[in-house]
Amino acid sequence: MIDPFGRHITYLRVSVTDRCDFRCVYCMSEDMTFLPKAELLTLEELDRLCGAFVGLGVRKLRITGGEPLVRRNVMWLFESLGRRLENGALDELTLTTNGSQLRRFAQDLYRCGVRRVNVSLDTLDAAKFLAITRWGRFDQVMDGIAAAKEAGLRVKINTVAMKGVNEDDFDKLIGWCGDEGFDLTFIETMPLGDIDGDRTQQYLPLSIVRARLMERWTLTDIDYKTGGPARYVEVGETGRRLGFITPLTHNFCESCNRVRLTCTATLYMCLGQEDAADLRTPLRASESDGPLIAAINEAIGRKPKGHDFVIDRRHNRPALARHMSVTGG
Ligand code: SAM
Ligand code: SF4
């Protein structure tokens, strides 16, 4: 699949549920209305959709949500997708999780062929963790991360940078990730979906974070690429990689290789644009994948050049109405 700007689409992110056992302040409001369960694709349908994308050239699948590990029977999907690793159709199967269920599933994930997980963790302070996630249990997440490590999964920590909330925690996170052997990526808050607070209060440009970190750590630019939007440096003192995802201060769209599928089979060609394609109708219209493949190709043909997020005083409404938990970040 090649889009109109010559970018090869080889990476699909699949949100398997919009539900979550946490209510992170930057992601959701506390009383969220989720999709009625009947509207969700079945796991078999998700598997068939992923298969169609793999047939069209997707080499990397990331399962996300909502919290992917709270979807009932989700290991069936991992198992089925894992078979595509075995037969060489797929290079990587991975997931993004809040870590709450990792103790339960880490070994199964490894068995299904998963080798890396991204775990979201914004602080190492238990009280602050509760304030950020509202419903999360810090000890459970730390235990989940330990389970992932024990199972042989490589862990990358994702930290959303929030002004006045966790800016004092970054040094500790860098040190801890160094000790544990984890890479770490900082993410700027993106204006997606209505939340209870005001985003202009939360937004912390990573250019500032980086300048501050350089007073304490030796950061060297490296040319490491995961096919994702992060720019990496190496932290001299720990030897670990540190990534910066800067959708607002730096536009990373020119190398975008991905599209995103929701749990209702809506395909978003860009995280930062409203345009989407309905794949559920062609999926259910026929047992043959012909109509589905035609719809995917048509959608890739209109993948936009990029997004134009802005957070400032004049734009403190969400740039997009949908929450990150719909498209999965
Ligand atoms: N529940 C899983 C988790 O938290 O890792 C997977 C889904 S979550 C939507 C994926 C990532 O998006 C997480 O790292 C989360 O911190 C990030 N995220 C959520 N809302 C965001 C926002 N408004 N701006 C930036 N990152 C956001
Ligand atoms: Fe749930 Fe992840 Fe959103 Fe937090 S960021 S509310 S864990 S989906």
What is the total residue count of the chain? 329
Say what the pLDDT of residue 328 is. 63
Q: Best mutation site among 21, 23, 96, 327 for ligand 1, i.e. most ligand atoms within 8 A of its Cβ?
A: 96
CA atoms within 13 A on the CB side of 205: 10
Say what the pLDDT of residue 189 is. 85
Q: What is the 27 CA–ligand 1 centroid distance (Å)?
A: 6
Task: Answer yes or no: is the C-beta of 97 below 6 A from any ligand 1 atom.
Answer: yes
Counting ligands in written order, the one closest to the CA of 245 is 1
Task: Answer yes or no: is the C-beta of 69 below 6 A from any ligand 1 atom.
Answer: no
Q: State yes or no: pLDDT of 190 exceeds 90.
A: no
- pLDDT bucket at 259, cuts 50 / 70 / 90: very high
Q: Name the residue with the closest Cα to ligand 2, atom 8.
A: 66
- If you average pLDDT over residues 142-150, what whole number do you get? 98
Calculate the average pLDDT of the chain: 91
- What are the tens digits of pLDDT across the range 46-104? 999 999 999 999 999 999 999 999 999 999 999 999 999 999 999 999 999 999 999 99
Say what the pLDDT of residue 313 is. 44
In a domain, 256, yes or no: yes
Task: Answer yes or no: is the C-beta of 269 below 6 A from any ligand 2 atom.
Answer: no
Q: Which domain holds residue 125?
A: 11-327
In a domain, 4, yes or no: no
In a domain, 3, yes or no: no
Q: Count the neighbouring beta carbons within 10 Å of the beta carbon of residue 320.
A: 20
Q: State yes or no: pLDDT of 147 exceeds 90.
A: yes
Say what the pLDDT of residue 126 is. 98
Q: What is the 27 CA–ligand 2 centroid distance (Å)?
A: 6
What does 93-123 look like in DSSP terms, one character per residue? EEEEE-STTHHHHHHHHHHTT--EEEEE---
In a domain, 104, yes or no: yes
Say what the pLDDT of residue 119 is. 98
Say what the pLDDT of residue 318 is. 58
Edge-to-edge strands of the sheet including 231-235? 219-221, 231-235, 241-245, 183-188, 154-161, 116-120, 92-97, 60-64, 11-15, 258-261, 266-268, 276-278
Q: 2 by DSSP, 3-state: which?
A: strand
Say what the pLDDT of residue 327 is. 66
- What are the tens digits of pLDDT across the range 305-314? 887 655 544 4
- The torsion of the CA quartet 329, 160, 141, 23, rounded to 10 degrees, works out to -70
State how many domains the chain has.
1
In a domain, 2, yes or no: no
In a domain, 5, yes or no: no
Looking up residue 192, the CATH number of its domain turns out to be 3.20.20.70
Say what the pLDDT of residue 275 is. 85
In a domain, 278, yes or no: yes
Q: 135 by DSSP, 3-state: which?
A: coil
Q: State yes or no: pLDDT of 273 exceeds 50.
A: yes
Task: Answer yes or no: is the C-beta of 65 below 6 A from any ligand 1 atom.
Answer: yes
Q: Name the residue with the closest Cα to ligand 1, atom 4.
A: 98
- What are the tens digits of pLDDT across the range 154-187? 999 999 999 999 999 999 999 999 999 999 999 9
Say what the pLDDT of residue 246 is. 82
Task: Answer yes or no: is the C-beta of 193 below 6 A from any ligand 1 atom.
Answer: no
Which ligand 2 atom is the nearest neighbour of the CA of 160?
5
- What are the tens digits of pLDDT across the range 23-49? 999 899 999 999 998 899 999 999 999
Q: What are phi and psi of 244, to 5 degrees?
A: -130, 120
**Which bin fits 302, alpha (ψ -120 to 50), beta or left (φ > 0)?**
alpha
- What are the tens digits of pLDDT across the range 312-324? 444 555 556 666 6
Is residue 120 within 8 A of residue 66, CB to CB? The reply is: no
pLDDT more than 70, % of the chain: 88
In a domain, 98, yes or no: yes
Task: Answer yes or no: is the C-beta of 190 below 6 A from any ligand 1 atom.
Answer: yes
Q: State yes or no: pLDDT of 295 exceeds 90.
A: yes
- What are the tens digits of pLDDT across the range 216-256? 999 999 988 766 678 899 999 999 999 998 876 556 677 88
Q: What is the 115 CA–ligand 1 centroid distance (Å)?
A: 20
- If you average pLDDT over residues 121-150, what whole number do you get? 98
